[in-house]
Amino acid sequence: MPIATAPSAFHIMAKPRGAVCNLECAYCFFLKKEKLYPGSNFRMSDEVLESYLRQVIEAHQGRRVTIAWQGGEPTLMGLDFFRKSIEYQRKYQKPGTIIENTIQTNGVLLNKEWCSFLHANKFLVGLSLDGPKELHDVYRRDKAGRSVSDAVMQAARLMQQHQVDFNILATVNAANADYPLDVYRFFRDEVGAEFIQFIPIVERDNESGSVEGKTVTNRSVRPEQYGCFLNAVFDEWIRRDVGRIFVNHFDAALASWAGAPPATCTTAPTCGFAMVLEHNGDLYSCDHFVERNHLLGNIMEQPLIELATSEKQRTFGQNKRDTLPRYCRECEVLVACHGECPKNRLLRTPDGEPGLNYLCTGLKSFFAHIDRPMRIMAELLRKKRAPAEVMQMLAVEEARLKQEFAKASRNEPCPCGSGLKFKRCHGKN
């Protein structure tokens, strides 16, 4: 395929140490991927590193190139590997382009030297943290079963001291999902994070770590629990943090309500622009599909751009839309949801069609819950006003309702407009 038809931007997460990690988080499906490469030393060679960076920089048609490092645990490669990667990036950088690096880490190895490097080279760091110590420690421990939350918090402090940009990546799992405000306020008030990404744990119950089987482990968040978690965090955010704290699900939803292009692959109608590069140059369709049948090829044998734009990868991305059951296609929140991530589609619809997302109940509850404030923010955006104005508007409305609730009698319609009698709605208690 000629380079001219390449997408203007695509995303590849490189795993220079493959699935190798210094922790053993109980819900991590990726640790099992070591089995894909028996006998490997799981270290990206200099040859693969240089070839990858040259190819990915050449292939990008846009002004910005993002180089994303992930794992396993990428810091296990050591700093010299990343110093070398910066040298190669400078060698192949095209005039007028900007190269940005991101790195996802558990934070345990970050020290002053690392932080100086990350700051000097403007890395954006994603720090994995599941909440306060007692919640983080439930599933995220080292190989000896010891707590690492103090080390992660120390990494956050060090990054702040060295002015390293970082955001929080938190899983929503069976253990922390019942504590949405403890988790959110901890990130906002204790850690001082401004960008928070929540990822639901939907862990298939199998030994391969692959997307197969119809049951999930008891570490997985329950669908209703997930909806309640997002709703509670949203209620706090919409009242005091809009424009100040950025939460991936809320940004993505606002993009949908405002008619902007999808902000994440999970909320897009099709996907396939977020691939994974293994330590040996193997390119896979997606981080969640590092499996033999989703191997696109090896960039040392076939140009990366050919693999990224191959028929196989296009089909992978379009399958997200083409395999949606009718139940989703007719769903009133389809435009915001698009069936979420195909890796979570393990249920049957009420009429028996396969392919319904495990999280559906929670997603529906969330999208219904945020509808009105999202409409207000989308309208503000259309008028070129700041979405943060919604906070003042809701505060005025709540104060008015409070006064009306105080005056309402039990059998009157509830002042909130639900259509229910006051005694069955806000007057229940």
Least CB distance to ligand SF4 at residue 369 (A) = 12
Among 107, 126, 209, 339, binds ligand SF4 (CB under 6 A): 339
Query: If binding is defined by CB under 6 A, does position 320 make contact with ligand SF4?
Result: yes
Say how far apart CA 200 and CA 71 lie, in whole Å.
Answer: 18
- Token representation of residue 256: 């949908």
Catalytic, 165? Answer: no
- Closest to ligand SF4 by CB, 220 vs 357, is 357
Which residue do the tokens 């988790």 mark?
183
**Phi first, then psi: what are they for 377, rounded to 5°?**
-65, -40
342 sits near ligand SF4 (criterion: CB under 6 A): yes
31 in contact with ligand SF4 (CB under 6 A) = no
Name residue 284's beta-bridge partners. 276, 295
Q: Quick one: tokens of 391?
A: 């906070």
> Per CB under 6 A, which region of 174-182, 213-221, 332-340, 407-415 contacts ligand SF4?
332-340
Q: Which of 173, 225, 248, 266 binds ligand SF4 (CB under 6 A)?
A: 266
Residue where the block lists tokens 């619809």: 349
Q: Find the shortest distance in angstroms from Cβ 104 to ligand SF4.
A: 14
Of the candidates 165, 182, 235, 287, the residue annotated as catalytic is 287
Q: Could you give the C-alpha distances from 60 to 32, 173, 245, 311, in angstroms and in order? A: 32, 36, 31, 19
Residue 102 has φ and ψ, to the nearest 5°, of -125, 150
Q: Which stretch binds ligand SF4 (CB under 6 A): 48-56, 110-118, 265-273, 300-308?
A: 265-273
**Cβ of residue 100: shortest distance to ligand SF4, in angstroms?**
20
**Nearest Cα to 346, choosing from 213, 223, 222, 206?**
213
- CA–CA gap between residue 7 and residue 370 (Å, rounded): 33
Is the distance from CB of 11 to CB of 274 less than 8 angstroms? yes
Nearest approach, Cβ of 341 to ligand SF4 (angstroms)? 3
Smallest gap from residue 233 Cβ to ligand SF4 (A): 18
- The three-class DSSP label of residue 169 is strand
Which structure tokens are listed for 378?
A: 């989308």
283 binds ligand SF4 (CB under 6 A): no
User: Which H or E run includes 165?
Assistant: strand 165-172
Using CB under 6 A, count the residues that bind ligand SF4.
22
CB of 344 to ligand SF4, least distance (A): 8
Nearer residue to ligand SF4 within complex by CB, 252 or 305: 252
Which residue blocks in 258-352 are alpha helix, DSSP H? 304-308, 311-322, 326-329, 334-337
User: To the nearest whole angstrom, how small is the minimum distance from the Cβ of residue 395 to ligand SF4?
Assistant: 30
Q: Looking at beta carbons only, is 139 or 367 nearer to ligand SF4?
A: 367
Q: Which stretch binds ligand SF4 (CB under 6 A): 73-81, 155-163, 184-192, 320-328?
A: 320-328
Ranges within 223-242 binding ligand SF4 (CB under 6 A):
none
Interaction between residue 169 and ligand SF4 (CB under 6 A): no
The yes or no reply on residue 274 touching ligand SF4 (CB under 6 A) is yes
- Contact positions with ligand SF4 (CB under 6 A) in 351-410: 357, 360, 363-364
Nearer to ligand SF4, 155 or 211 (CB): 211
Contact 53, 101 (CB under 8 A): no
Candidates 33, 219, 249, 288; binder of ligand SF4 (CB under 6 A) is: 288
- Examine residue 193 and tell whether it contacts ligand SF4 (CB under 6 A): no
Closest CA to 71 of 130, 35, 29: 29
Query: Are 140 and 25 in contact, with CB atoms under 8 Å apart?
Result: yes
Give the residue carrying structure tokens 């007692």.
134
Determine if 271 is a binding residue for ligand SF4 (CB under 6 A). yes
Query: For residue 357, what is the DSSP state?
Result: -
Q: How far is the CB of 159 from ligand SF4 (least distance, A)?
A: 26
Residue type, 218: N
343 near ligand SF4, judged by CB under 6 A: yes
Which residue is listed with tokens 């920089």?
57
Instruction: Say how many residues make up the chain.
Output: 429
Alpha-carbon span 173 to 191, nearest angstrom: 20
Of 98-127, which residues contact ligand SF4 (CB under 6 A)?
Answer: none
Catalytic residue annotation: 287
Positions touching ligand SF4 (CB under 6 A) are: 265-266, 271, 274, 286, 288, 320, 327-328, 331, 333-334, 337, 339-343, 357, 360, 363-364
